[in-house]
Structure 1
Amino acid sequence: MRKSETASTAVRGEDFGDWLSPVLVKEFRQGLRGHWFAWVFVWVSLSMAFLVGFRGLVGEEMRARLDWAYWLNMGLVLHGAPLVKGMLAIDEDLDESRLPLLRMAGYSADWLLGCKWVSMMVQAVLLGSAMLPYALARYYTGGVDLVKELMMMGWMVFGVAAVAGVANWMMTMTVSGRVVMGVLLLIFVPLFEGLLMLTVNALMAGTGGGAGLWEFLAYVAMWLVGIGVLFVFCMSVGAAKYDSNLRVS
C-alpha cells in the first residue's frame, strides 16, 4: 500500500473526538455518560409518554391541566435540572489535585468554562430532540397549534444559553452563595418562563405584520441582549474564580 493511501486510511480511522479539544471531549463524556443526564433522559421518556398518552383519553377540562403539566415538565427538564445540578454539584476542575495538570496544559479559564457551557447546550438539544415526537403526538390528538408548540420548544432550548451560564457560575460558588442563589432563582425562574411565553405569543402575532411585527422585534432584541449580558456576566465571574485557582502562587 502506498504511503498516501496509508495516511488517508489513518485519517478516516481517527475517532471523532480527536477532532475536538480534549477539554470539550472530557465535558461531553462526563455530561452524556453521567448518571444525572441518564436519569433526566429516562424521566423525559416516562413523563412525556404519560402526559401525552393520558391526554388522548380525557375531556377538555382535564386536557387543559395536562397541557399545563406538560409545559411545566419541559421547563423543569430544560431549565430546572441544570440549575439544580449547578447548585448541588462541585466543579471537579477546581479540585486542587487537578490544578497542576490544568496549569501545564495551558488552558485559559474562559476556555474551560466555555467547554462546560457547550456541553450543557448539547445536552439541552438532545433532550429537546427527545421531546419532539411527543409534540407531534399532541398535534395528532387534536387541539394543539404545532407551529406554536415547536416555536415554544425552540425558545426554551435557546433559553438554556442563559441557564447554563448561571449553572456554571453556581458550581464555582461556596455553599452559602449557592443557598442565596437558590432563593433568588425561586423568584426569577418563574419570571423567566413567563417572558418565554410572552415571546412566543409575540412571535406568533408578528407573523401578521403591523404592530405585531414591532412587538416581535422588541422581544427578539430583548432576549438577545438579556441573554448576552447574563452570559457574559456569569462567565466572567466564573472565570475569575478559575483564574484565582489556576494562578501559581
Structure 2
Amino acid sequence: FGGWASAIAVLTPTEKELGVLMIDIGGGTTDIVTFMEDAITYSGSIPVGGANITSDIAIGLRVSIENAEKIKLNIEKVRKASKKEDPKDEKNDKEDKKTAKKTKNTLDLSVLNITDADDVTDEFFDKIVEARLREIFRLVKAQLEQSGYEWRLPAGIVMTGSTALIPGIAKVAQQELAIPARVGYPQGVIGLVDEIAGPGFATTQGLLLYGDTNYESGQEGGRFNVGNVGGIGQGMVGKVTGFFKNLMP
C-alpha cells in the first residue's frame, strides 16, 4: 500500500508505461512495486529498512538511536562541517601529517550537538551504511528474480523514503541490480516547505494527490496547491496540512 501511494507522487507517466521498479525504503520494511504499461505488475515487501541502518549506525558509533537517526539524515551537513584544510606548517613532520589526515577524515558530529560519540572516520561511516544498503538491494533483487520482472524495467529504479537521501544510494542500487537508478522526489503538490517536500513524505503526498483526483478539487494542470483550495476539498486539505505541520520539529 505504501509503495503504491508513493508511486503516485514520484513516478512519471513515461516510467510507468515503459516499465519501472519503485523502491520505497521505510522504517521497518522496504516496499517494492513494478509498473508496466501504466499498471502494477508486481508488489512485495522485505522486512529490512531504514531503521536497520539507524541501528547499525548506533552500534558502530556508540550513540543513541535518536542520535544515529539524526546523523543518518544529516550526514551531508556533518561532512561539510568536517572539511578542514591540512596544517600548512611543518609539512615534512610525520606526526603533523598523521594528525592532519585524522582531522581531515574524522566526522565532526558536534555540528548536530552530538558530543558523546566515539571518533569516527568518513570511510568507517560509509562502510556501516553501505553494508546494510547492499543487503536491502540484494533482497529486492531476489524478489524480482522470483517475480520474473527483473528484465522488464527499461525505465530503471526510482527510490523514495527518507533513507533514499543517503549520499551514494543510487550508485549502490545500480551496482547490485544492474539497472539505472535515481532518487524520486514527490511531484504535483505545491505550497509545502522544503522539510516536508522530500522523499520521506512521498507516501503522504501520494495519498493527497489520490484524494485530490478522486474528489475533484478543481485544480488545473495536475498540480495540487495546499494553499489554494476551497469548497468540498477544504476540510480534507486542512487536515492534511495540519498533519504535515505536526511532523515538523
TM-score, normalising length from structure 2? Answer: 0.28
Which protein has the bigger strand share?
A: 2
Which protein has the bigger helix share?
A: 1
